[in-house]
């Protein structure tokens, strides 16, 4: 199974002026792993499609909240 979140380890030089970021992450879109769109893919409802940004669940790629890991939130909204 593929994952759309990849990581890489940049070179850290001995004379870097700032503290390094040891692991960098990037997101690859799901359509890279689907060579063609097969007929009969399941579809979101129109309301969910507008909310998700795509009609097909196979092409949905969520963008994680980068502050969630820093603050330790559980994804709930505070009111």
Of the candidates 10, 12, 11, the one whose C-alpha atom is nearest the C-alpha of residue 26 is: 10
The predicted structure's pLDDT at residue 66: 61
pLDDT, one tens digit per residue, over 21-70 is 888 888 888 888 788 878 888 999 999 999 988 899 888 887 776 666 55
> Does pTM surpass 0.75?
no
Residues contacting 75, CB < 8 A, separation 6+ = 65, 68
pLDDT at 37: 79
pLDDT in the model for residue 42: 93
Please tell me the predicted confidence (pLDDT) of residue 33. Answer: 79
9 contacts: CB under 8 Å, gap ≥ 6: 22, 23, 24
Residue 79's pLDDT band (boundaries 50, 70, 90)? very low
């Amino acid at each position: 199974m593929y994952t759309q979140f990849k990581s890489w380890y940049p070179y850290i030089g001995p004379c870097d002026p700032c503290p390094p970021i040891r692991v960098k992450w990037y997101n690859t879109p799901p359509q890279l792993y689907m060579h063609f769109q097969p007929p009969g893919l399941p579809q979101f409802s129109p309301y969910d499609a507008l909310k998700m940004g795509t009609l097909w669940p196979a092409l949905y790629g969520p963008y994680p909240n980068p502050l969630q890991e820093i603050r330790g939130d559980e994804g709930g909204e505070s009111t």
